[in-house]
Amino acid sequence: MNETLSGRVALVTGAAQGIGEAIALVLAEQGADVIVNDRLENDQGLAVCTAIRAMGRRSTMLAADVGNEAEVKRMFCRIDEEFGHLDILVNNAGSTKAQTIEEASLDNWNELLSVNLTSCFLCSKEALARMKARHFGRIVNISSMAGQQGALLGHIHYSASKSGMLGFTKTLARTAGPMGITVNAVAPGLTDTELLRRTHSAAELEMLTARMPTGVLGQARHVGLAVAFLCGEAGSSITGSTLDMNGGIYMR
């Protein structure tokens, strides 16, 4: 087992399933202790913790709505008490709805931006305060190809939030660099998760996959490996960057 992150403490938001779960497991494989966050304590999140502990790592599930400032502050106080410090923050929590601007209400808009973007601001703010004291930290924001080229089939709020995350990443990287903290983003394309299959029909997925040079959906584990790369020694001089993982459907 490659333990390049041995001794590191990581928080992964939205880690009970999908991409977040995969990121949490890969970080643990590479040596990190991992805090698993989800909105509510649930069997899926607890199972991720169990899998991480089976690798010999420390892990706990901390339930919090990461779009709520008070809940985020409480979560970070628990991290201080139970782990003592934080080295890695992965802002992964997110959701979407297949709505166009005509279909989305203001409540829909505010809900998606809270989950996807406000959470990134609140968690990064708390993490930065702790990381700068140790002059070390890694923040990785899970954006999306939809934030770069726009969503093709509705998802107006999702696309806006993921685009905002990219600007947030670059700006925070400038602030955090002198503190020994790197800030980067990963922008997955079509990734085979429960959320993707819940929000896209089989016909839509077939059409979208056909546009990809690789012709296959991305895998959540590959996103986890990319995050681990950015958090490890090889990523030490990378900051303010976005790593595209979309099978070539969008090229810059």
Q: Which of 158, 186, 191, 226 is catalytic?
A: 158
Tokens in use for 105? Answer: 């209400």
- In 11-42, which positions are buried (b, 16+ CB within 10 angstroms) versus exposed (e)? bbbbbbbbbbbbbbbbbbbbbbbbbbbbbeee
Q: Are strands 33-38 and 9-12 parallel, antiparallel or unpaired?
A: parallel
CA distance 115 to 158: 10
Closest CA to 156 of 114, 102, 107, 78: 102
Strands of the sheet containing 33-38, edge to edge, are: 59-63, 33-38, 9-12, 88-91, 137-142, 181-188, 242-245
Would residue 250 show up in a list of annotated catalytic residues for this protein?
A: no
The CB density around residue 54, as the number of other CB atoms within 10 Å, is 10
Dihedral Cα 194, 28, 223, 132, nearest 10 deg = 120
Alpha helices in the chain (DSSP H): 18-29, 43-53, 69-83, 106-113, 119-134, 146-149, 156-176, 194-199, 202-210, 220-231
| Three-state SS at 218 | strand
CA distances from 3 to 58, 90, 232 (A): 14, 18, 10
Catalytic residues: 158
